[in-house]
């Protein structure tokens, strides 16, 4: 099965529609901050012959696959091995003038990572508990389960998984690892199922939120998003546009907050007029967060939880100048 058959980019046509006014001209630069298997980038390069894309990904497997998929575009693509909070440095190094015309974020875990059982992201498949998006560095999910105390486990399950049974699950993990290390997803699922009251098991799989929390902790995802969105806004040229796809509420709240700051006046309250230097730097392109249509959800189930937000730069000035 080809990459195109197993990987369907989420909200592809809507992303193209929103970014087209900024990237359609010859010489425009689009940053795909979460390149993955290159589905979004491929469509943009096909649609806009004068476009150059800077593709970022922390996953070396993703960069290899995207490189093969996009080889026919030659030097119209620049690949950068980095977490997406390295977007500022990547744009400075590879975009003319150090600014981008368009930026796309497709946050969360990628199709490649979910579908490759050996990576340990999916609770439905028994595999080593790795969960690193960049397998060249950092601690694994097994390391977290082996070294974190009960309080820290409870904290990440509550904060990153919004798990109501966080304390119960943390205690169960501490007890289980005293017998043997928790190194595979299958064993972790068994521990969580055994610790879950019958009534709670009817509300969804007991491992879902814990696996999400472990993945976010291992990859420092929320910290990266908190740094990446302001850096991306700073990297856009006037008239440039940004589109962000988020798949869980924790990420979306960060995006919503940063967009609200960027589209708000910084003038002190009570002034009879707004000084130009305090005017908003961005304007929103969509009202609130857009969701996928029922047709797209049926065609591509991974689009079901997506929330899309988009903005356009209307004035120069760095994000934190007024603070």
Under a CB-based contact definition with an 8 Å cutoff, are residues 104 and 33 in contact?
yes
pLDDT at residue 110, rounded to an integer: 62
Residue ranges with strand state E in 48-172: 52-57, 77-81, 100-106
Is 84 annotated to bind a ligand? Reply is yes
38 marked among binding-site residues: yes
pLDDT score at 265 = 77
Would you place residue 321 in the very low, low, confident or very high pLDDT band (cuts 50, 70, 90)? very low
What average pLDDT does the chain have? 90
Does 186 reside within a domain?
Answer: yes
157 plus 295 within the same structural domain? no
Is residue 298 situated within a structural domain?
Answer: yes
pLDDT at 204 (0 to 100): 73
Q: pLDDT exceeding 70 applies to what percent of the chain?
A: 90
Q: Which of the given ranges, 7-16, 58-67, 142-151, has the highest pLDDT on average?
A: 142-151
What are the distances in angstroms from CA 186 to CA 24, 106, 205, 297?
48, 28, 13, 29
Structurally, how many domains does the chain consist of? 2
Same domain, 148 and 207: yes
How many Cβ atoms are within 10 Å of 164's Cβ, its own excluded? 13
Q: Do 215 and 227 share a domain, yes or no?
A: no
In 3D space, the residue among 304, 307, 290 whose CA is nearest the CA of residue 245 turns out to be 307
Q: Is the pTM of this model over 0.95?
A: no
Q: Are residues 138 and 278 in the same domain?
A: no
The token pair that represents 163 in the structure block: 């798990």
The pLDDT of residue 8: 80
pLDDT at residue 188 above 60? yes
Percent of the chain with pLDDT over 90: 76
Dump pLDDT digits (tens) for 204-234. 788 889 999 999 999 999 999 999 999 999 9
Q: What is the CATH classification number for the domain harbouring 197?
A: 1.10.150.170
Q: Is 301 exposed, middle or buried (0-12, 13-18, 19+ CB in 10 A)?
A: exposed
Let me know if residue 34 belongs to a domain: yes
- Band of residue 114 on the pLDDT scale cut at 50, 70, 90: low
The answer to whether residue 309 is domain-embedded is yes
Look at residue 321 and tell me if it is in a domain: no
- 322 lies in a domain? no
Residues 229 and 304 in one domain: yes
Residue 278 marked as a ligand binder: no
Same domain, 241 and 195: no
Task: List, for residues 242-281, the tens digit of each pLDDT value.
Answer: 999 999 999 999 999 999 999 997 777 767 767 777 789 9
CB 21 within 8 A of CB 241: yes
Give the pLDDT of residue 1: 44
What is residue 269's predicted lDDT score, i.e. its pLDDT?
73
Question: Does 86 belong to an annotated binding site?
Answer: no
169 appears as a binding residue in the annotation? no
Does 179 lie in the same domain as 238? no
31 with 172, same domain: the answer is no
Give, rounded to a whole angstrom, the gap between the first and last alpha carbons of the chain: 51
Question: What pLDDT sits at residue 209?
Answer: 92
Other Cβ atoms within 10 Å of 280 Cβ, number: 18
Residue 172 sits in the same domain as residue 101: no
Judge whether 318 lies within some domain.
no
Q: The domain containing residue 169 runs over which residues?
A: 117-219
Nearest by Cα to 214 from 265, 148, 160, 261: 160
pLDDT over threshold 70, residue 90: yes
Whether residue 212 is annotated as binding a ligand: the answer is no
One domain for residues 245 and 288: yes
Are residues 238 and 200 both part of a single domain?
no
Is residue 199 assigned to a domain?
A: yes
**75 annotated ligand-binding residue:** no
């Amino acid at each position: 099965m080809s990459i195109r058959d197993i990987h369907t980019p989420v909200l592809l046509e809507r992303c193209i529609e929103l970014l087209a006014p900024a990237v359609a001209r010859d010489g425009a630069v689009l940053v795909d901050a979460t390149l993955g298997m290159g589905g979004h980038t491929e469509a943009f390069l096909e649609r806009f012959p004068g476009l150059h894309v800077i593709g970022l990904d922390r996953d070396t497997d993703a960069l290899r696959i995207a490189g093969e998929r996009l080889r026919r575009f030659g030097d119209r693509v620049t690949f950068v091995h980095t977490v997406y909070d390295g977007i500022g440095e990547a744009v400075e190094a590879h975009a003319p003038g150090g600014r981008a015309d368009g930026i796309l974020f497709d946050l969360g875990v990628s199709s490649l990572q979910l579908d490759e059982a050996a990576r340990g992201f999916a609770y439905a498949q028994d595999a080593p508990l790795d969960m690193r998006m960049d397998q060249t560095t950092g601690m694994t999910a097994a390391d977290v389960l082996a070294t974190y105390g009960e309080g820290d486990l409870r904290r990440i399950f509550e904060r990153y998984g919004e798990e109501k049974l966080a304390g119960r699950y943390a205690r169960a993990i501490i007890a289980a690892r005293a017998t043997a290390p928790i190194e595979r997803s299958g064993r972790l699922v068994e521990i969580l199922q055994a610790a879950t009251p019958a009534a709670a098991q009817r509300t969804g799989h007991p491992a879902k939120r814990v696996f999400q929390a472990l993945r976010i902790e291992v990859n420092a995802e929320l910290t990266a998003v908190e740094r990446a969105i302001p850096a991306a806004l700073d990297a856009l040229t006037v008239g440039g546009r940004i589109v962000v796809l988020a798949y869980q509420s924790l990420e979306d709240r960060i995006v919503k907050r940063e967009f609200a700051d960027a589209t708000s006046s910084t003038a002190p309250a009570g002034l009879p007029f707004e000084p130009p230097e305090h005017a908003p730097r961005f304007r929103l392109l969509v009202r609130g967060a857009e969701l996928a249509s029922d047709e797209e959800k049926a065609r591509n189930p991974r689009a079901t939880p997506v929330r899309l937000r988009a903005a356009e730069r209307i004035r120069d000035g760095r994000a934190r100048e007024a603070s």
